[in-house]
Every structure is written in structure tokens, then in C-alpha cells.
Structure 1
Amino acid sequence: MLILAATPMGDVGDASQRLRDALATADVVAAEDTRRTKHLASGLGVTITGKVVSFYDQVETARLPGLVDAVRDGKSVLLVTDAGMPSVSDPGYRLVAACVDADLPVTCLPGPSAVTTALALSGLPVERFCFDGFPPRKQGQRSKFFESLKSESRACVFFEAPHRLAACLADAVAVLGPDRRAAVCRELTKTYEEVKRGTLGELAAWAEDGVRGEITVVLAGAVAVASEPEDLIDDVEQLVASGMRLKDACAQLAVGGVSKRELYEAVLASRSAGV
């Protein structure tokens, strides 16, 4: 069986007992970085008894046949990456697809994920969201990426390299405007974990001085333009439920000719009517 396993993003205490057991018993451990995986096992007090092989982008294709054959021969192959869940912006997809095509069993040991952790910490409405990996590195392509999010009503999560964050947020401001709300999550679960929340304009200014660590960005979904305050009541209540003050939520969502006061009064009226 192929076993995908989520590994801690920083705090080894987040490792599940199932991950510990799998590291100790798997016949083959395919690791994005063998040194980091051995270090993780040591930190967990686990001795890896199986064969440890590297499995990163540059060797992924070459390693596939041998790993698929191992599963076909009845061995347990544990796939782990440096942090988080395999296949989510990390190696793994091709191996899963190869095993599925060969009608071989695949399972997953759930655990830490920067995507869901950032969503939970963002303070934004995230009942519906999309994940977009890493934005393009080149400015022109990155601007097109943000253009595609202009009318995206779902929250969007993406990763970014720390040395590109300032330029990325500046492009977001240029395309989406300075008032779209977002959160930048840095070093999740680690000693210097930090979550900066605010508008894109505020976050872009903050990032200008440089940011370190692993970065996950959550971008609030676009708010549909409405001509009547009643059309925005549900969106306001979602922001309030996420922790925002009613007045602030009304100020953010008052668009399309609807004033903040009109929207505020419409929400209060809706609550009074029990709608």
C-alpha cells in the first residue's frame, strides 16, 4: 500500500501517532529530504527500520517505477514531504496517479496543513475557498493571476516565497485595489509564528521592509456589487461571525451605491425581524 502522511510544519508535537507508527514500520520511506525526515524521526523517538529513498521534484519521475513495483509486491511505501501534506504544492501527485492507474491501494494519514491552518487563523469568511499554490514569479503573469481573482467570491489561499512577498502584494494592490482584506501567515506552528491581518494596502506597506519565513496568504473573496442594502446582509453577517465589528463590516461591504448607514440599518432591521 502507498501511504501518504502529513508531517509537522514546525512543531513536532503535531505529529500523529499514526505517523509515528508508519515511520517505524514502513518497508520503504520515500522522503522529499531524507535528512529532514531522519531528523523528524529522531525528534519523535522513532527508529526507521525500512529503506529510506529520496523523492523530490528532480528525481520523482525516475523513482516512480521502483516505488510502484514495491507497492505491487506487497510492501508498504510511506511518502512524506518536508512539511504538511504530500501532493499539496509538494511531490506526490504523480506517484498517487501511478498507483491508482495500476489499481494499487492508496491511503492517507491526515495531519497538519498550512492551507487549513491559515484559513482558520485569517479572521476572514472562509466557508468557501480555493487554493492556488504559488503565484507566478514574473510580474506580468502574476498580475494576470490577480486579474482572475477580481470576481472570485471564494477566499483564495496561496503560498509565496518571503523574498517575493512585497512585490506580490504590491501587484495585488495594483489589480485588486488597496481595500481588499487579506491575512499573511508566517512561520505557522513555529516559534516565531505571526499572522498579519488587514487590507492589501496595509499588508503591502508592512511587507516592504522584508519578511522572513514560510508564507501563506489568505485573500478575502470578492464581494458582489449590489444596488440594495438587503442584498449584502448575509455577507455582513458572515464577517461579523468571523469576529469583525458590525460597523467595520458595513464599511467594508458598502458598495454599488449602498451607504454604510443604509447597510447598518438594514442589518439591524433584519435582526429585529428575525430574518
Structure 2
Amino acid sequence: MPETARLCWSEARPLVQTMFVLRFAVGAVSAVQAPGALSRTVLGMAAWWCAVSCAYLLNGVTDVREDRANGSRRPIARGALPVRTAAVVTALLAAAALVLGALAGGEVLAWVVGFLLLGWAYSVGPVRAKDSSVRCALVVFGMGAASYAAGVAAAGSGWTATGVVFGLVMSAWMALVGALVKDLGDAGGDAAGGRRTVAVVRGMAAARALAVLGAVLVGVAGPVAAARWAPLALVGTVPVAAGAAWVVAQVLRDARRSNADRQQRRGAYRAFMVTQYAANLLLVAVLAVV
């Protein structure tokens, strides 16, 4: 069982799990008041981790064909974790998320249910948002926004301008940048799996152009919105502007590499991930002390 747990944890993408929990933490500390009931916040965070792990383990269960075509070394793709075992753990994680969410309070439970439904819609029919860049962007935006909202709900307090602006900017960063750059290194496997993403249908040049447009849009609009409505959010949105320039540079650099391998083509995605980690960590650190 410990080995199965380790493989499931690895399949559910630890960096992504941590990122979603960090979004939850930002929501909690950005609320009108600091979390009044620490136990409720901790229970909510545990529920959120279970919900996120469930969603991404489900994604691994449904992505076997694409992952193998892309040469992924995640446990299911390489045959170390049976699909049936992963599916059982997925169901257990969903149940744990619901129980912990109920213990954290009705509003937190509602966000947990919403997130689980979005995770299902991302990977499973009839929606299968992962098959379309537009549907993917919409669902990913919802998953990001729900994470910040669940943190606010767990804190038992209301939204602040800082929380609203930063949550929307970072959810847009996920939808308009992350949802596109993640496909740049996986177009071959996505095509094999029958997906109809921009990279598959319109080609890599179109996908890169949209990724650049999205990065520029969020990189410029984020700090402007923060300066206008929530100056404290500049702590997090200024790094997004720098990250947008980094993503654009990576996309343009990768476009010049005609023989780039999958890892080299994922440079823009790594820039996207580092940027959102930096932005969220900086803001949660500042909010924790103000």
C-alpha cells in the first residue's frame, strides 16, 4: 500500500497538487480577516488536496493513450501503476474530499463538489474539456477560481479587493497561458488520442501565437487591474508581468528549434509554472504578515 500511495501521488502531479493548495492558502489569508477557525481552514485545505489529487489522478487514468504516445514516464503510462488500482484510489480520494469538506463547513463542501465536477468535466465525457483548447480554458479558469474561493470560504470571512483581483488574474493566467503552453510539447500524443486542441487542428504556429497573446494580455492587464483596484495585489501581479515576458521568450525560442524534443518544447510550460508559484508564494507571504 505505501508503494501504491507513492505511485498515485506521483501520477497526480505533486507540483500541481501543491500549486492548488497554495491557491487555497492565498484565498484563506486574503479574506477580510485572518482565518478565525484554524481547524476549519486545515480541514478545508485537506479536503482541497484530496479533491485536486482525485481530479489529476482521474486525468492520468483517462490519458493513458496520449501519455504513452508522448513518452510520458508517469506511473500509469510506464506500467508501474495499474489503471484499475488508480481508479479505485480516485474514488477514495473523492469520498475523502467530500467528508473533509463537510467537516469544514457547508460552503467549503459546495466548492469541493464544484471542483470535483470540474475535474470530471476536464477528463471524462460528455464534456472532455481536455479535447478542446476553448473548453479546457474555461474549465481550468473555473478550477483556479474555485481554489481561491474555497480558501476564502474556509476562513469564514468575505472577499477583499486583493483576493478578487489576484484570484481572477491568476485564474486567467491558467486559462489563457497554461492551458495553451501545456499543449506545445504534447501535440503528437494529443493527436493520437483524438484531441482537437489548437495545436492539433490549427498547427503549432497558431498555438504559439495564441500563447503569446494570452501571456501579453494577462501580463499587462494583471498589474494594471491591481494598481487600479487592489494595490497590494501588485506583489503578486508584477511577477506575472515578468513571467509573461519569460513565457513569450520561451515560445519564440522553441519556435526556432526545428528538431526540439518534448522536454525542450515544454520550456514555456515550465516558465508558466515557475511564474505562478512565485506570484502566489509572494502574495501569501505578504498577506500573512500584514
Normalising by structure 2, we get a TM-score of 0.29
Larger RCO of the pair (alpha carbons < 8 Å, separation 6+) = 2
Whichever of the two has the greater Rg, that structure is 1
